[in-house]
Amino acid sequence: MKIFNVYIKSKVTSTDGQLIADLQAKLTTNLRFNDDQDIHSIVLGDFNLSYEKYQQKLLQGKSPSPQEAIFDKLDNEFHFVDVTALLESDTSKITTFDAAAGSSRIDYIWISPGVFNNILSHCISVVDSFTTDHKLVSASLLMPNLSQHRSPTNHKTVFNFKDMSTEQWDEYQKYVELRFTHYNDKLKPTEINSKWISIKLAIQDASRYKNAENEYLIPQRTCSFRGSHRIHFSPLYEKLRTILKCIKACRKALKRPSYEFLDLYKESVEIAISYDTTLTVPFASDSTFNIIKLMELKDILTIEYNNDLRESQLQKIKEATIIRESNLDGNQGKVIKSVMEHEVRSIVLDKVIDTDPTTNVDVLLTNPKDIKRKVNDHFQHAAQSVNEPKTIPHEWSDIFEPKHDIDASIYDELMAPSSLEELEAHIHKLPLGKAAGPSRIHNEFIKHLPVSLKIALLDLINDIFIHQQFPLEQLQKGYKISDGSTSIHVPSKAYMDDTTIITDSKENLEVLLTTADSFFELASIKINYDKVELLLRNDSAYDASPINLSFGDKIISIVPKSPKENIRILGVYFNVARCPKYNLRLIRDEIINFTSMIKKKDVTDKIIRYIFNRFAATAPNIIITNSFFYGLIDLYQRQLEEKITSFMIQINNPGLLGTITNLRLNNIQHALSLPRSPLFGLTTDDFTQYRRFKTQKQLMKRVKKSHLVNLIFLLQEHELSISESPPQIPSRDDNISISFNFERGTNNNTLKLLRLIT
């Protein structure tokens, strides 16, 4: 879409005539170009002309002024629509300009055809922000995603495989085998490219094969489509457009009686008869009677079009309401985004301050090209890392040496020729109903290939693996590579995730840091030492004084984090003291932010439904969440579902997560002397047997801190059970005395955790 802002002087002198003519000629050229390219246009501005006076001149047979020629171009040649005249019932009472001499309508918004159905609203309001004698004319449009350029008509073939019978597929196999033999005899069967072409052409010929009745063996049809959305006019608008053309032709006939427009006039007469309007037949070129009648018919069609437009808008509102209700049931995320008014935002660098290295003076850059060049230069050299050959240190040399203890023969089967059974298994897994690729071969064709074609396809695949070559068609690119090339050096830079090191003493920590520093230097990784964080597990021994750590050949000074001070690792906030206050504050702020947005949100169709039906604010929430009503899922219930699902995935995970979970469950089982895993029948009575719990308060404190115990109780609360596995230790009924001895290391309270941000 293109928007043109036009201003015409109120008092035109003799010297302004050529200027106005050039302006209208330039506007006409641009509008014609947009019309040819299917680009919508909007012409708006202060014309300092009255459209109503222009129409009176035409009815009186007077010629319009050179300035008023813009109305003739917009109205008759390009068939633009005056938005104000379209949506207001009586334009004679509408004013956009107030002066001492009088008021009139001289400000306009004209839109091109095809945008009528997308007009949402129109308003003429008084401007309060500054002093002016003009009113503000505004219109809201709901613009479709239309392409600015015409696209060529494309064709595609749609195959109806569902109507294929077993006999037809048998005939397809015979014909494709016949065509493959034909191409295989003509081409060189020893070349990979020839093998592929033989298979491809045989399948394509079979897809286009016609039987003796000149019918396709495989039912198909050819469809044509365009890449851009075409404009489809309503029948009512086509009538209005015909009347406008006829009015223009009648005016020409008044000036030139020899002007012929018989077909257009006949079509206009038929439209006039359907609206009980009489036109003289044949056209009388010496009277304005027909023009007056056509203008009246135009007003009738405009009113009818306005009514249809309003009905269309109401229909769109109903459709939007239905979509919102469906989103409320199946896409709550979209509803939440709409309520919270999330906007798509992007970062735009429009100003950059650059320091001149020679004069050390800051220079403000506003040119987009200079900004782009400076930003690229910054990110290419900010890390100051250069890719260059490096000498592998002795501590890493063993890592990069070949592993002699691994039998090299284990890789032999990877490149072994495939078998026909493997190929048929993969063909069986191919999905149906999918679009074909560049070869135009659908999966249905491959699934019904005869055995001889499958063997040929298997031979082609094995040749590709053995000779490491592909058919030429697969090597073609969708772009052209220029002949000339220039070799340039581009410094590379990447950001690694957070690195966490856990150990039990300062000495072991420095050993690990030395190893990490050696690896960072080998991999050209730069460390931001200002973002290194240190956590001490011992709460009582916390000291806010800095600690010096040996980081390879460097010494860094770092202040340990307070036990209750939160840090963020991979998006998770936690502290050593396990104090939840910070996380609770984050959750509270998020809820307050959400509720504040809800309070200021405009009344929606959903809320109006509550008001019309006198829905009480004191109604219980069960009405909202019950499946017989709206069936909304409570936020707390959703959180419970997520917790339970995550816990079930955790205990069934075959990897490291599942191993750690089983170890923690074993610790709970051993600590409580349970005969089986705590997943099966854990109760609060089991905690009373543990001698450390002297009071119920200590018991509940222990239970509250155990995440796994809370999850197990959550399963029991919702009557969810887990199938029991064989006991891990003998049961109590076996009368076997079991004792557990736990020895705690001396460094239990000196666990250190270091976080490196690279």
Does residue 426 carry a pLDDT above 90?
yes
Q: What is the pLDDT of residues 27-79, one digit of tens each?
A: 888 888 887 777 888 988 888 888 888 877 876 767 778 888 888 888 777 87
Q: What is the pLDDT of residues 290-306, one digit of tens each?
A: 888 888 888 888 888 88
pTM assigned to the model: 0.36
The residue among 167, 175, 244 whose CA lies nearest residue 452 is: 175
Q: What is the pLDDT of residues 535-589, one digit of tens each?
A: 887 767 677 888 888 888 888 888 888 888 888 877 788 888 888 888 888 889 9
What pLDDT band is residue 308 in, cutting at 50, 70 and 90? confident
125 φ/ψ sector (left φ>0, alpha ψ -120 to 50, else beta): beta
In the prediction, which pLDDT does 654 show?
Answer: 86
Q: How far apart are CA 302 and CA 89, in angstroms?
A: 10
Domains (range + CATH), the chain: 2-141 (3.60.10.10), 235-306 (no CATH), 348-400 (no CATH), 414-475 (no CATH), 640-725 (no CATH)
Q: What is the pLDDT of residues 587-634, one digit of tens each?
A: 899 888 888 877 777 766 666 666 666 666 777 777 767 766 666 677
Q: How far apart are CA 574 and CA 568, in angstroms?
A: 7
372 or 212: which leads in pLDDT: 372
Q: How far apart are CA 41 and CA 5, in angstroms?
A: 11
* Relative orientation angle of helices 262-274 and 289-330, to the nearest 10 degrees: 70
The residue among 564, 557, 562 whose CA lies nearest residue 529 is: 557
Q: How far apart are CA 290 and CA 241, in angstroms?
A: 17
Using DSSP, state whether 364 is helix, strand or coil. Answer: strand
CA of 420: how far to CAs of 108, 136, 289, 453, in Å?
74, 76, 86, 11
Burial 77-108 (b: 16+ CB within 10 A, else e): ebbbbbbbbbbbeebeebebbeeeeeebbbbb
In the prediction, which pLDDT does 174 show?
Answer: 92
Question: Please, which contacts does 594-601 make with residues 24 or more away whose CB atoms are closer than 8 Å?
Answer: 594/340, 597/339, 597/340, 597/341, 598/339, 601/339
In the prediction, which pLDDT does 229 show?
Answer: 46
Name the strand (E) or helix (H) holding 298. Answer: helix 289-330
Task: Find out whether 232 and 210 touch, Cβ atoms under 8 Å.
Answer: no
In the prediction, which pLDDT does 185 show?
Answer: 83
Q: Which residues contact 78 (CB under 8 A, 6 or more apart)?
A: 31, 35, 41, 112
**For residue 641, what is the DSSP state?**
H
Percent of the chain with pLDDT over 70: 79
Q: How far apart are CA 253 and CA 283, in angstroms?
A: 9
